[in-house]
Structure 1
Amino acid sequence: MKLFAKVIGLYYNLLSVFNLNAATHKAFILFCSPRKGAITDEQRQFLDTSEKHVLFFEEIPITAYIWKGHKTTILFAHGWESNAGRWEPYILKLKDIGHTIIAIDAPKHGNSGGALFDLPLYVEFLNVACKEFQPEVLVGHSMGATSIAYLHYKYPVRSLKKMVLLAPPAYLSRIMADYQKLLGYNNNIMASLEDLCEEKFGMRFDEFSIPKYAKAFEELKSLIIHDRFDDITPFAEGKAIASNLKGSKFIATEGLGHSLPSEKVYSEVFDFIAS
């Protein structure tokens, strides 16, 4: 995989010498194109226990899975190359004790539409879902965690009382630096990508900072869980977000990696929602 990525990067670098604009757009499309995210047969069996609703953002279908209850309404947002089925261990417990659960598939993931995945589009999906279902709790993993945090900064969710961030990336600049390292892009492509990001989304790489945005909703009760040995999102990024949320609780795990599959993690989330 890494060798293949380097070959692609070498090709785009060569293309950039002759046509920087074409190389930049190819690099952007590659960055926004998940390789995974399809629903497995096992996940499909679980998701089929829900009521399915299809919402829309600018004619792009958003698939929402709903388990109705009589208690708190909780909305789940998965991360990159995943889908709503990843939340099964959480949903099984929470629906059994009477909560209303909503989980959505991100753009170009699961059963949702979209030609590409980017965080601003995911935020628009989540905003549509929040307007429809008025959740009191948001739970996100990885890019889903980053997306719900940015959502509440950009479109404050008035019904929201609590937020759970699992292994949250904090800085777009770090994500793009990792992308450059993986593909071996030259600095001309990266500078052009940053210009394209500003044109499309109105921000430079270093302007997107979840710790900075978190200060705008520091009164919100928040739980952040991050593994010390996360090899996808640096542990320090979860700590940085927590440090800017005065009402937050930060839990460090060891040996669970980025996905945080653990009964202890599930219990911490359940207890936080119940508190």
Structure 2
Amino acid sequence: MNKLIPKIYGQYFNFLALFSKRRAALATFEVFSKVRKGRVLPQQKTYLEEAKDQILEIENHTIQTYQWSGKRETVLLVHGWESNTFRWRNLIAKLKDADYNIVAFDAPGHGNSSGKNLHLPLYINCIQAMVDEYAPAHVIAHSFGGMALLFNEYLRPSDYIEKMVTIGSPSEFRELLGHYQKLVGFNNRVLSAFEDYIRERFGMEVDNFSSSKFVANNHKKGLLLHDRLDILAPFHASEKVHAHWKGSRFIKTKGLGHSMHQPHINEYIVHFLEDKPIIEKH
């Protein structure tokens, strides 16, 4: 049944495109941007409740922010697709031990924030609002959040941000769209309509939503972490970003998965923020 449902959507999109390419594009985008997981689970509630800071209004969404106060620079945490701020709990412990001021937020449709859908331009506006509000010196982002971070820095270079970290992040929107097309099974007529819709709504070509292009003129210090066996975001994505980002360091792992919560990974990140040597474990 789980394999059949996406194909039903695909056939529906194909049918719509026979009569209206725009309606097909709208339906395809709605399903693509729909958030199905990531709300606060019972075992996550207490941890997040204790750190709630304020609510920001962004594009008709209420965005929940969190803060763990410290005396050192501010670190902003940006979670990935169908996740929430709770995913950072292990890294937060390390950052607290180092006395950093830590802020985070739940993306639209995730955690304690409102909404049901999320797309890249909306996410970058949330990141920018957090940068404006908290002036972080460092930003750490996971998965889809990493792509959003690099896109936002490309469009609106920050005077505050000194260092950026991405963990298991995709690079090319074209690849994400190709995976979506294969999963759902819609035809190239629908794909063309989707691309036209992206161009009309966001003023960019699909192929220009590319982290490797976003970092071409990024002169800030960056740390990229990616596992070779990551099945959710391709390892070659960070390879490509690293090749185009002159100020980046790339740490490659094997067998740690997509989330990369391991203690030594968090230690790498803190050492990077503190300009300490990173001795990789193999």
Whether the TM-score (by the shorter chain) exceeds 0.5 is yes
CA distance in 2, matches of 1:46, 1:96: 17
Would the aligned equivalents of 1:52 and 1:65 in 2 still touch at CA under 8 Å?
A: yes
2:113 equivalent in structure 1:
112
**Unaligned segments of structure 1, at least 5 residues:** none
Correspondence list, 1:39-118, <5 A: 39-118=40-119
2:278 equivalent in structure 1:
none
2:215 aligned counterpart, secondary structure: helix
Number of aligned pairs? 274
CA distance in 2, matches of 1:3, 1:59: 34
CA distance in 2, matches of 1:62, 1:261: 24
Q: Which amino acid aligns with 2:190?
A: I
CA distance in 2, matches of 1:93, 1:167: 20
CA distance in 1, matches of 2:47, 2:274: 24
CA distance in 2, matches of 1:211, 1:19: 34
Q: Which amino acid aligns with 1:208?
A: F
CA distance in 2, matches of 1:214, 1:141: 17
CA distance in 2, matches of 1:207, 1:246: 20
Q: Which amino acid aligns with 1:25?
A: L
Deviations 1:13-57 (A, max 9, x none): 123223332222111100010110101122212112214211122
Would the aligned equivalents of 1:51 and 1:67 in 2 still touch at CA under 8 Å?
A: no
Correspondence list, 1:147-186, <5 A: 147-186=148-187
Would the aligned equivalents of 2:90 and 2:261 in 1 still touch at CA under 8 Å?
A: no
Correspondence list, 1:192-231, <5 A: 192-217=193-218, 219-231=219-231
Q: Which amino acid aligns with 1:157?
A: S
Q: Which amino acid aligns with 1:94?
A: L
- Report the aligned-residue RMSD: 1.2
CA distance in 1, matches of 2:254, 2:82: 23
CA distance in 2, matches of 1:26, 1:114: 17
Worse overlay, 133-142 or 202-211: 202-211
Worse overlay, 134-143 or 41-50: 41-50
Would the aligned equivalents of 1:56 and 1:128 in 2 still touch at CA under 8 Å?
A: no
Would the aligned equivalents of 1:162 and 1:221 in 2 still touch at CA under 8 Å?
A: yes
Q: Which amino acid aligns with 1:147?
A: A
1:108 aligned counterpart, secondary structure: coil
Deviation (angstroms), 1:115: 4.2
CA distance in 1, matches of 2:127, 2:244: 23
CA distance in 2, matches of 1:7, 1:259: 30
TM-score normalized by structure 2? 0.94
TM-score normalized by structure 1? 0.96
CA distance in 2, matches of 1:61, 1:238: 32
Deviations 1:78-99 (A, max 9, x none): 0111111100001112123211
1:122 aligned counterpart, secondary structure: helix
**Unaligned segments of structure 2, at least 5 residues:** 276-282
2:252 equivalent in structure 1:
252
CA distance in 2, matches of 1:2, 1:255: 27
State, as a whole percentage, how many aligned pairs show the same letter: 36
2:280 equivalent in structure 1:
none
Q: Which amino acid aligns with 1:130?
A: V
2:279 equivalent in structure 1:
none
CA distance in 2, matches of 1:134, 1:216: 22
2:141 aligned counterpart, secondary structure: strand
1:5 equivalent in structure 2:
6
Q: Which amino acid aligns with 1:20?
A: K
1:223 aligned counterpart, secondary structure: strand
